[in-house]
Structure 1
Amino acid sequence: MTEVSTTKTLADSSRTNTGTVILAVLLILPLLVLGAFLILRESNEDAEVSSPPITSSVNTIPIDPPLDLLDFTFTASNGESLSLSDLRGKYVLLYFGFTHCPDFCPTTLTIYKRVKSQLGQEAENVAFVFISVDGERDTPDILDEYIGRYDSDFVALQGDETELARIAGDYNLAYDFVPLENGDYTVDHTVYKFLIDPEGRLVRIYEFNESADVIAEDIGNLILN
C-alpha cells in the first residue's frame, strides 16, 4: 500500500492491474486539471487579493486566490439536512470517503482527532466534515455509529449521486464502485482533505500524507490572521 493511492482495497488481493491503472488516473488527473485551472485563474485575475498565510509544506496545496464553491445539501447522521452554507463563519475541513474503508478513511479521521486536539479552543472555529460517497450503504444511522468512534462532534453526511456529481468539479472529486469476487463492492475515491474558509471558499488542499501537526498549525495560523 502506498499513501498516495485512492482505494479502499489496497489490502485486498482481488484488485486487478486495470484497477491500479484507474486509480493512478483518478489521482493524477485531478491534480493536472486543478493546476491548469489555477494557473489560468491567476493569469486572468484583475484585482489584487490579500493572500492568507501559506504553509511551506510540500504536501499542502494553497488555493490563491480562494475558489468560490457551490453550496451543497446532504443528509446528516442525525437525519436532518445540512448545507455547506450552514457552516458559514467556520473553517470546514472536508473529506470524501465511506464507512467500509479499511485504511484511508480511518487514518484521515484519526488525523481529524489530532488536529482538533492540537487546535485546542480554536477548534471551535472548525467544522470537521466527512461526506460518504457510498450513500446506499452509509445511511444516517450507520454514519452516526461510525463517526462516533472518532468524535461525536464531527459531521458525517450521506452523499447522493446527483448532488455529488453537481459539486464534483469544485473538488476534482473522483470515485468508482469496484465489484469484488465475493459479490460485494468497494469504492476507489479521492483521498485529499479540503479546507474551506468561513466565507465558503476553498483555500487549501491537503494531500493524504500531510501530517496532523502541519494541518493544525496551518489552520491555526489562518484563524489568527
Structure 2
Amino acid sequence: MTDPTSRPPRRKAHALRWALWVLVAAIVALLVLVVVFGRQETSAVRDAGVYGSSFQLVDQNGGPVSESVLRGRPTALFFGFTHCPDVCPTTLYELAGYQKALKAEGRDLAIVFVSVDPERDTPDVLRTYVGSIGADVTAVTGDPAKVAAMLDGFGIYAKKVPQGEDYTMDHTASVILLDRAGAFKGTIAYGEDPEAAKLKLARLAAA
C-alpha cells in the first residue's frame, strides 16, 4: 500500500506550480522594466550634456538659424541688445579680441550674439552692429515669442525697463561657454579678470 505522506497532495502541487508561474512572470516583467528604463536612462545621459533648447530664429543676414549654430565649434554665447550703452559692446569687443588672438594661435572660437530685444534688433540692425565688431560673429534675432522661448530654454533673464518714453533691457550679462558638442563648459562674468577670461577661452578652444 502506498504511503499517502510520500507525495504532496494534488492541491499542494497545483499551488506550487501556480507560485512558480507567478515568479517567472514577475522575473520577465522585471527584465522588461530594466531594458526599457535602461534605454531611457542611457538616452537621458547621452543628451544631458547639451545645453539649452532647440530654436528656429534668423541671423543677421535673415537666414534661418537653429541650435546647430552652437555645434561644431567651441562657442562663446552672449545675450544682449544693440541699444545697450556699455555692457554689450564692451563684452562683444573683448570676445572679438580674444577670438582674433586664438585664431593667430591656430585655435578656433565662434561668437554667437543673441538679441534679447528682437522688437528693435532686426536682422539689418544686427548686421550693421556686429559688422563693426568682427567678421566672425553670428547675431541671432527673430519673432519675439520665439526669442522669449529660447531665452527661457537657455535660462536667460531679460526684462524691459521703462526709460522715459523709451525703454532699456535688463538681462543676464555673463558669457556662456559651450564646447563643440554644445555642452556647457562654464561662464565668463562681466568685468571678470581678463587673464582669467583668456585662460577659460584657451581651454575651451583646446578641448
Q: State TM-score, norm by structure 1.
A: 0.64
Q: How does 1:70-149 map to 2 (within 5 A)?
A: 70-121=53-104, 125-149=108-132
| Greater relative contact order, per chain length (Cα 8 Å cut-off, separation 6+) | 1
Q: Deviations over 1:156-175 (max 9, x none)?
A: 11144322332334433111
Partner of 2:166: 184
Q: Do the aligned partners of 2:51 and 2:154 also contact (CA within 8 Å) in 1?
A: no
Aligned-pair Cα RMSD in Å: 2.5
Q: Deviations over 1:109-138 (max 9, x none)?
A: 111122112212467632101111111111
Q: How does 1:200-211 map to 2 (within 5 A)?
A: 200-211=182-193
Mapped partners of 1:223, 1:179: distance in 2? 39
- Residues 103 and 86 from structure 1, CA distance in 2 versus in 1: closer, same or farther, beyond 3 angstroms? closer
Could you tell me which amino acid in structure 1 is paired with residue 189 of structure 2? E
Q: Which runs of 5+ in 2 are unaligned?
A: 1-41
Q: Partner of 1:188: helix, strand, or coil?
A: strand
Mapped partners of 1:204, 1:149: distance in 2? 27
Partner of 2:176: 194
Q: Partner of 1:176: helix, strand, or coil?
A: strand
Q: Do the aligned partners of 1:116 and 1:123 also contact (CA within 8 Å) in 2?
A: no
Partner of 2:26: none
Higher helix residue share: 2
Task: Tell me the CA shift for residue 201 of structure 1.
Answer: 1.6
Mapped partners of 2:192, 2:154: distance in 1? 18
Q: Do the aligned partners of 1:133 and 1:160 also contact (CA within 8 Å) in 2?
A: no
Partner of 1:68: 51
Q: 1:214 aligns with which of 186, 191, 196?
A: 196
Could you tell me which amino acid in structure 2 is paired with residue 196 of structure 1? L
Task: Tell me the CA shift for residue 145 of structure 1.
Answer: 0.5
Q: How does 1:27-38 map to 2 (within 5 A)?
A: none
Mapped partners of 2:153, 2:194: distance in 1? 24
Aligned residue pairs total: 163
Q: Which runs of 5+ in 1 are unaligned?
A: 1-45, 50-64
Could you tell me which amino acid in structure 2 is paired with residue 107 of structure 1? T
Task: Tell me the CA shift for residue 217 of structure 1.
Answer: 2.2
Q: Partner of 2:134: helix, strand, or coil?
A: coil
Q: Partner of 2:54: helix, strand, or coil?
A: coil
Q: Do the aligned partners of 1:116 and 1:216 also contact (CA within 8 Å) in 2?
A: no
- Specify the structure having the higher radius of gyration (Cα): 2
- Residues 84 and 216 from structure 1, CA distance in 2 versus in 1: closer, same or farther, beyond 3 angstroms? farther
Mapped partners of 1:135, 1:122: distance in 2? 35
Partner of 2:23: none
Q: State TM-score, norm by structure 2.
A: 0.69
Identity %: 36
Could you tell me which amino acid in structure 2 is paired with residue 214 of structure 1? A
